[in-house]
Amino acid sequence: MRAGPILVGVDGSAESREALAWAAGLAQVTGAGVLAVHAVGLLEKLGPGGSSLPAAGHLEEIRAVFDTTWCEPGRRAGVSVEMQMRYGTPAEVMLSAAEQEGAAMVVVGSRGAGRAGPGILGSTSNRLARSCPVPVVIVPAPHPDGAEATQPG
């Protein structure tokens, strides 16, 4: 595994929490850093209930949830998690972050926090698997009975 952080895509979905837990497990074993990246989309300007968030509060609000909730699986594993927010689609954001940060690998959940049912085009994991220059790990959805994610080891 090349030097560089383990890049994890996070969006608040159960799958992305699972991905972060898996990455944190690997970081414990390897000593690599974990960099959690969130792609800020167009709709995130609308807060809960569809009301507009002011520009100044928009990113801070997302960052607060990112820090306190989305990164919690990393902290639970005792791993320090760096956070980045970038505008764009998840796939493009992860590809550019992987390149710019010299990531050792990219870890994503099998699907994100979408609302429109299953898509067959342009899913983040599919696109990363085709285009990412470093290894990509796709972590499956949490087991329905609540079992922990498989830990790397």
Partner 1 sequence: MVILFGSLSGQDRHSNWPGHPEGPGRLAAVDSGMAAAGLADHLSPLTGRPVRREELARVHSEDYLDALLALDRFGGGELDPDTAMSEGSWETALAAAGMGLAAIEALERGEGDAAFLAVRPPGHHATASQAMGFCLLNNVAISAAALVADGQRVLILDWDVHHGNGTQEIFWDDPAVLYVSTHQWPAYPGTGRAAEVGGPAARGLNVNIPLPPGTTGDAARLAMEKIVAPAVESFGPDWLLISAGFDAHRRDPMADLDWTAGDFADLTRDAGSLLGRPGRTVAFLEGGYDLEALALSSAATMAALMGVAYRPEAPSSGGPGREAVLATARIRERQLSGAEQ
Sole window of 24-32, 42-50, 76-84, 142-150 interacting with partner 1 (rule: CB under 8 A):
42-50
- Member of 60, 82, 87, 135 binding partner 1 (CB under 8 A): 87
Chosen residue from 31, 120, 146, 153 binding partner 1 by CB under 8 A: 120
Stretch that binds partner 1, among 70-78, 120-128, 133-141, 142-150 (CB under 8 A): 120-128
- Told to check if 118 binds partner 1 by CB under 8 A, we report yes
Helix (H) or strand (E) holding 29: helix 14-30
Counting contacts by CB under 8 A, is residue 115 touching partner 1?
Answer: yes
CA 141 – CA 59 distance, rounded (Å): 27
133: alpha, beta or left? (left if phi > 0; alpha if psi -120 to 50): alpha
Cα gap 4→105, rounded to integer Å: 8
Q: Measured from the CB of residue 75, what is the shortest distance to partner 1 in angstroms?
A: 25
| CA–CA distance, 121 with 90 (Å, rounded to integer) | 13
**DSSP character string of 30-75:** H---EEEEEEE-GGGGB-GGGPBPPHHHHHHHHHHHIIIIITHHHH
Shortest distance, CB of residue 89 to partner 1, whole angstroms? Answer: 5
Helical H segments across 66-137, by residue range: 72-76, 90-101, 124-131
92 binds partner 1 (CB under 8 A): yes
| Span near partner 1 by CB under 8 A; candidates 61-69, 89-97, 101-109, 143-151 | 89-97
Instruction: Return residues touching partner 1 (CB under 8 A).
Output: 11, 39-46, 50-52, 54-56, 86-92, 112-123
